[in-house]
Chains A and B, each alone.
Chain A
């Protein structure tokens, strides 16, 4: 381990410290970027060029913004209230059970490569979170501000877990092809099917753990 190697860990330390001290994320990123440019010896122009081309190549991440006018418009006309009323009509609806069904749907569709069948802007905000909240309102003790926040956060978490541990089972998914390419470069030929199949045990485990947490949440709530 040379001094230069330890030196290269400084940007990571900046990120960890920044987030641990609850600094503004944009500031953390800014200082981490400057320190990475420094230890990487990029120079001012090199740093700016890396920032610029990196940003331009990642612009596709913002395309989801195009969904916002649609969501805002239907919400202004009462979509979230509609979602709540629908769930209000289901007796025995509980947030955990509802989110368990969503987890199954999200993970199953992602495993078939249909990753766009969900997402925080398109599904969680307009539909999933309001439905889970409406289910929580049916619980004996009602829904206070803290529990509302927890139910919303759990809705977002469920979308993430379903997506992450579903998409890896899809043969043409980027990660599967990345792994295949990595080993091919080193003279080991793996079939995409082989890699995708070995993802199944973890996928089942993820569904079991998160699903159990969701049902456990309902149970704890009903006992309080």
Chain B
């Protein structure tokens, strides 16, 4: 099952938000806001039909608007009612995770009209269907027509602003880094600068290398093949005789310690800053560093102990 129907649904929503931004001239930078969501809409609605280079030019335009054109910070819409709502309001909120889980687990086993879902597609369709059903529930509970909810969602999205795009831009940057050989260069630099034939040096280089490269690329999955291929296999496994299973698991989790400390992992560390209306852009990272550093140290010790039993 392709993801195109989901992208069309989301692209339609972006088009709606773009149209709203263009017609609502009360707020600043209407043209830029409208253009931003219009380009997003094009990339989601017909992105697959465009030549890759054209899509790339649109992505560049998005990044330029995000970097220079959009307001730095838009106040999040007021949370409205100050009197506590009805307890039934919890229903739509809890329906999102509950339905997502049910559909994620069941879709791969169903075959409706010979349509097969991969695990990833099932999770994404699960999320999308859950959100649509939850919206219907929310409208039933609050007794409103859909237009208002969509408009409110648009306001919330605009308050997140350019941060909404960052996870995507950074994923693209990761691909570019891989093409430019950035990871291999970093692994080589570590290998040249450190005497990896000493066991504890190799352990340090592997664990810290995972964390550092993850911080640079924003993603432990991208860092793993580079560091495990450049330091883990040739030195720790072949020279020092490390057990590969704990080496792999704890190495990846050392990378996750890096994820906790980098703005490159935007969907985890920067999007919540916008969602929670925080003033300090690094507030979430700052809250995570005191967990990440001792945990990374613990991982280095675990690597030394568990790989060489």
Residues of A within 8 A of B (CB): 1, 5-9, 11-12, 15-16, 19, 22, 24-27, 29-30, 32-33, 36-37, 39-40, 42, 45, 47-56, 58-82, 84-85, 114, 116-127, 129, 149-150, 152-157, 159-161, 164-165, 168, 172, 174-175, 178-179, 182-183, 186, 188, 190, 194-199, 201-203, 205-206, 209-210, 213
Interface of chain B, helix or strand or loop or mixed?
A: helix
Is B245 on the interface with A (CB-CB < 8 A)? yes
Contact B53 A54 (CB under 8 A): no
Is there contact, CB below 8 Å, between A168 and B252? yes
By a CB distance below 8 angstroms, the chain A residues around B100 are: 116
- Are A209's CB and B291's CB within 8 A? yes
Tell which of B18-26, B135-143, B198-206 binds the partner: B135-143
- A74-B85, A153-B284, A213-B290 given; A175·B252 CB < 8 A: yes
Chain A residues with CB under 8 Å of B72's CB are 24
Give the shortest distance, in Å, between A120 (CB) and chain B (any CB). Answer: 4
Q: Which B residues are closer than 8 A to A by beta carbons?
A: 3, 6-7, 9-10, 13, 43-44, 47-48, 50-60, 63-64, 66-68, 72, 77, 79-87, 89-90, 92-93, 96-97, 100-101, 104, 119-120, 123-124, 126-128, 131-132, 134-135, 138-139, 141-142, 144, 148-150, 152-157, 162-173, 175-177, 179-182, 184-186, 188-189, 192, 216, 220-221, 224-225, 228-229, 233, 237, 244-246, 248-250, 252-253, 256, 259-260, 263-264, 266-273, 275-281, 283-284, 286-288, 290-291, 294-295, 298-299, 302, 306
Given contacts A65-B13, A124-B275, A152-B278, 4 further A-B contacts (CB under 8 A): A48-B52, A65-B10, A117-B97, A153-B272
Q: Bound state CA distance, A25 and B67, in angstroms? A: 7
Q: What 8 A-B pairs are tightest by C-beta distance, nearest first?
A: A78-B85, A69-B153, A52-B55, A40-B180, A48-B56, A52-B56, A76-B80, A78-B81
Q: Contact at A67–B59, with CB atoms within 8 Å? A: no
Min C-beta distance of B21 to chain A, whole Å: 15
Q: Cβ of B306 and Cβ of A198 under 8 Å apart?
A: yes
